Amino acid sequence: MAALELGETFDDEKKVDVITSSVNESEIDLLSYHEHNAGRLVIDPLEAKLEFGEAVATKLKLTSDGTKVLWPQPTDDPEDPQNWSDGRKAVQLLIATLAAVVPDFDSGIGVAALFPLSKQFNTTTGEINDLTSNWSIFLLGELLVFILLALLFLIGCAVAPNLNTFTAMRCLTAFFGTCPQVTGLYIVTDIYPFHLQARKLNIWTMGFVVSPFLSPFLFGFLVAKASWRWAYGIGCIYGGLVLFLIIFFGQETLYDRTVKPIPKRPTDGIRYRIESLLGLTGVKMAKFRSAWWDVIICPFNVVWRPQLLGILVFEAVVFGFSAGLNVTNVVFFGTAPPLGFGFDQIITAAFYATPIVGVLLGELIGRYLNDWIMRISIRRNKGVFEAESRLWACYVAMPLYVCGFVTLGSGLEKLSVPAVIMGWGIAQIAVMVNTVAVYAYCNDCFPKQQGEISALVNLARTLGGFSVAYFQVPWANKDGAMETFGCEAAVAIGLGILSVPFVQITGRHLRQRFSL
C-alpha cells in the first residue's frame, strides 16, 4: 500500500510528462490555469519551470518569500481581490464568518427556549422539536436580501402569539438565513490564494459549526430568569448588526479574471457600492458570466460525479448525527431520571460550553493539520499538489468521532457528567476537522463551481441532520444511549472507510475522466 503514503500521488508512474520545449505562452492561460487543471496545481516554482518552461515560469507571480506559485494568478489590477491588503481581506472574512453564524444561531435559540416554549404553548417538548427545531434545520437552504428577510422573520418569532405562527416564522427564518453558509466559500476563494484557502475555510467553517451551540449556551441562562421572547429579541439585534456590517463594510469579491479582456467596473465610488448592494452591478455584468440555464443545471451536473458523491454522503452522516445532538441533548439534560439528568435551565445552558470549546479546539487543530498535510503533499509530489491529499485529515477526525460518540452515549446512559462533557467535546473536534477537509477537497476538485459545491455540501449537512432528532431520543429511551450513539458512530466510520480511501486511490483518474 505504498500508494497510500501521505501526500503521494497514487499513479505517479502514469504521470503525463510535460515536454518543456513544446510549451509556450500561447498554450497556457495563467489566469484560468487553476480552473482547467482542477485538483492538480504546480506550487513549487522549480517544478513550474519544468512543466511550463522558463519563459512562462518567469511570468508567474509568487508569494512574497518566493517559495510558492500563486493560484489564481493575480492580475495587475489593484481592484483584483487577490491584490487587496491583508486587513481588507480580513474584514471580508470576518463579515462572512459572522453572517455564517446567523442561520444556526437563530435556529439554536429554540433549543435554549425548548422547555419555556412547551409551557407557553401548552404542549410537549417533543412536539416543539418536531414542529420547529427539526423542520427549521431542514429548511436551512444576494446575501443582503436574504439576511434582511431572515431578520424580519426572526422578529416574527419574537412576537408570535401562538404556536402555528411561531412555527411558520421559525421555518422561514431558517429558509432565508442559510445564504451566508453558501456564499462564504465564494468569498474565501475570491480573495485568498490556494495555499491559504484551507486555513481561511477553517475560520469560516468554524462560524457555522459553532453557531448552533452559541445560542443555547448564551440564552439558556437568560430564559431561566426572563421570557423566551427576550432571547429572540437579542437574536434580532445580532442579525441587525450583521446586516449593518454587510451594508457599510461588505464588498463584492467576484472578479472576472478569466474573461478576455477583463471587463471594467460599470460604475465607481458610492454609486458602485449602492448598485452592488442592490444587485444592479450583477445585472450589468451578467453578459460576461454564465447563462441562467447553465446556472440552473450546474448543481445537477456536478452532484453525480463519483469523486464527489460518496464524500457528500459521508459528510452528510458525520455532520448530521452531530447536528442531532444539539436538539437531542437538551432533552436528556432536562428530563427527570432515570431517562435523563433532570438539570435545571442554568445547568443545561452551562453544558453547551462543551461543544463550543470542542469546535474552537477543532479549529486550532485543523489550522495546523491542513497546512502540514499540504506541505507534505507538495514535497512528496515534487512540487505538485493533488486534491485528494486534503482527505488525510479525515483519518485524524474519524477515530475521534467514534471515541466521542461512544463516550457520550455511555455518559448519557449511565448519567455520567464527565463522560458527557468529554464525549461531546471530542465529537465536535472531529466534526470540525472533517468538515473543513471535505470543503477544501470539494473546492479543489471544482474550482469553477464554488457556489454549487458549497450549496451541495450545505444541503448534505442539512439532509443528514434534520431527521436525527426524530429518532434519536425515542431510540435512546428504548434501547439506551450507548447503543444509539454507538450505531451512529459505526455508520459514520463505515461510510468513511468506503468512500475516503476509494476517492484517494482513484481521485486523479476520476477528476480527469469526469471533469467539467
What's the DSSP call for residue 122? Answer: T
Would residue 5 count as lying in a domain? no
Give the per-residue pLDDT at 20. 34
Per-residue pLDDT for 12 more than 60?
Answer: no
Torsion of CA 122, 124, 127, 132, to 10 degrees: 70
Q: How confident is the model at residue 1 (pLDDT cuts 50, 70, 90)?
A: very low
Please give the angle made by the CA atoms of 373, 4 and 310, to the nearest 5 degrees: 85
Q: Is the pLDDT of residue 127 over 70?
A: no
Query: Within this chain, do residues 61 and 118 fall inside the same structural domain, yes or no?
Result: no
User: How does pLDDT run across 455-473, given as a tens digit for each residue?
Assistant: 899 889 888 877 787 788 8
Specify whether the CB–CB gap between 249 and 150 falls below 8 A.
no
pLDDT digits (tens, 9 = 90+) for 34-47: 888 889 999 999 99
Spatial distance between the Cα atoms of 206 and 193, rounded to a whole number of angstroms: 20
Q: Render pLDDT for 270-284 as a digit per residue (tens, 0 to 9).
A: 999 888 888 888 888
Residues 325 and 196 in one domain: no
For residues 193 and 230, membership in a common domain is answered with yes
| Statement to judge: residues 104 and 43 lie in one domain | no
Statement: residue 439 has pLDDT above 50: yes
Q: Is residue 276 part of a domain?
A: no
One domain for residues 226 and 355 = no
Joined together, the cell numbers standing for residue 186 give 465564494
φ, ψ at 42 (rounded to 5°): -80, 115
Q: Are residues 41 and 163 in the same domain?
A: no
- What are the cell numbers at 209? 459549526
* Residues 443 and 197 sit within 8 Å (Cβ to Cβ): yes
pLDDT tens-digit series, residues 171-229 = 777 777 777 888 899 999 999 999 999 999 999 999 999 998 998 899 888 888 888 88
229 with 341, same domain: the answer is no
471: helix, strand or coil: helix
Q: Indicate whether 400 pLDDT > 50.
A: yes
With cut-offs at 50, 70 and 90, classify the pLDDT of residue 123: low
Give the 3-state secondary structure of residue 23. Answer: coil
Is the predicted pLDDT of residue 97 greater than 70, yes or no?
A: yes
Residue 172 lies in a domain: yes
Which residue segment(s) compose the domain that 338 sits in?
296-515
Tell me whether residue 200 is exposed, middle or buried, using C-beta atoms within 10 angstroms of its C-beta: 0 to 12, 13 to 18, 19 or more: buried
Rg of the chain (C-alpha set): 24
Mean pLDDT of the chain: 85
Task: Give the per-residue pLDDT at 245.
Answer: 94
- At 329-363, the pLDDT tens digits run 888 888 888 888 999 889 989 999 999 999 999 99
User: Is position 60 within any domain?
Assistant: yes
Q: How confident is the model at residue 126 (pLDDT cuts 50, 70, 90)?
A: low
Residues 158-171 as b or e (16 or more Cβ within 10 Å = b): bebeebeebbbbbb
- Lowest-confidence pick of 108-112, 233-237, 257-261: 108-112
Please determine, for residue 383, whether its predicted confidence score (pLDDT) is greater than 70. yes
Task: Evaluate whether residue 8 is within a structural domain.
Answer: no
**Residue 224 sits in the same domain as residue 313:** no
What is d(CA 86, CA 94) in angstroms, rounded to the nearest whole number?
12
pLDDT at 478 over 90: no
pLDDT digits (tens, 9 = 90+) for 152-178: 888 888 888 887 887 788 777 777 777
Whether 420 shows a pLDDT value over 50: the answer reads: yes
End-of-domain residue from the set 237, 258, 279: 258
User: Looking at residue 367, what is its pLDDT?
Assistant: 92
Nine-digit cell at 313?
454522503
120 or 44: which carries more pLDDT confidence? 44
Task: Label residue 27 by pLDDT band (50, 70, 90).
Answer: low
> How much is the pLDDT for 10?
39
3-state secondary structure of 447: coil
Identify the DSSP state of 131: I
**Residue 322 forms part of a structural domain:** yes
* Residues 182 and 250 both lie in one domain: yes
pLDDT-derived band of residue 125, with 50, 70 and 90 as boundaries? low
pLDDT at 11: 42
More confident residue, 392 or 151: 392
Give bridge partners of residue 42 from the DSSP assignment: 384
| Residue 220: predicted pLDDT | 85
CATH number of the domain encompassing residue 420: 1.20.1250.20
Of 228, 258, 288, which marks where a domain is finished? 258
In the listed set 23, 45, 70, which residue is the last one of a domain according to the structure? 70
Pair 89, 43 in one domain: no
State whether 253 and 301 are in the same domain: no
Distance (Å, whole) CA 108 – CA 71: 38
In this structure, the chain runs to a length of 516
Residues 380 and 496 in one domain: yes
What secondary structure, in 3-state letters, does 156-204 show? HHHCCCCHHHHHHHHHHHHHHHCCHHHHHHHHHHHHCCHHHHHHHHHHH
Percent of the chain with pLDDT over 90: 50
With beta carbons less than 8 A apart as the criterion, state whether 32 and 262 touch: no
* Placement of cell 431558517 in the chain: 174
Q: What is the pLDDT of residue 227?
A: 83
In a domain, 43, yes or no: yes
**How many structural domains compose the chain?**
3
Beta-carbon count within 10 A of 121 CB: 17
Residue 283 domain-assigned (yes or no): no
